[in-house]
Amino acid sequence: MQQVYRFGPAPEHPARHLFVFLHASGADARSMIPTAFKYQGRFPSAALVVPSGFARYGKDINRQQWFSTSGLTDDNRMDRISAILPRVEQLIRREQTNHRVPSERTVLIGYSQGGTVALEAVKAFPELAGAVVAYSARFARLPQPESRMHSRIHLVHGGYDSVVSRVYAERAARVLSGLHVPVTLDIIEELGHALTHEAICRGSLRLLQGIYERRRATLH
């Protein structure tokens, strides 16, 4: 059974945003809770949802992944992700209904494999979320010229990431910009494949700036 942790906003705040946190392969939902709380410090009116992955990681019952990495190649990566995306959509739609938060105020925040799942989810379902913050992640398949993406995309990557090269993030930023998708890219030069306090602060700042810019655009 999938474990899902839920944390409401500060008592004096109704839920205005829904943040869904997707962990890395080989981790678990609890690994993203500190990140979730740091985000809530900047967004006190956000409801937090922190689910575990759909599959066990190897034989360890305490570690999960969203899709299997056994025998994973560039040729089969997209197929494996496509197979789980309906479940990802169902999870997020359910939480939007439970918290009474619309898709445009839903944010997917993912690290490594979780970031890849978040990116592919909003590519497959353009109305699913208003924004994605993807740490040390990559698209399984870059958006094509006919792709419709309505989410703002914030990419944060380590300059010395030896697991997922920064090249993937740089390439994604160029493609998204060419499709007129609002995108930011932050390369943290001294960082490897890790979700650090600096990276979290950078991603949450970009998200805050994006929300402000979108709100300001609706006033004109």
Locate the domains of the chain by residue range.
4-217
10-residue averages of pLDDT along the chain (220 residues): 88 88 96 97 95 87 89 93 97 96 97 98 97 98 92 97 97 97 96 97 96 63
5, 42, 102 from 180: Cα distances, Å:
35, 28, 23
User: Of 106, 213, 115, 107, nearest to 157 (Cα)?
Assistant: 115
Could you give the residue numbers annotated as active site?
Answer: 112, 161, 193
First-to-last alpha carbon distance for the chain, in angstroms, is 47
SS3 31: helix
pLDDT of residue 215: 64
CATH superfamily of 4-217: Alpha/Beta hydrolase fold, catalytic domain (3.40.50.1820)
**pTM (2 d.p.):** 0.94
pLDDT of residue 119: 98
pLDDT of residue 216: 61
- What radius of gyration do the chain's Cα atoms show? 16
CA 201 from centroid of its chain's CA atoms: 15
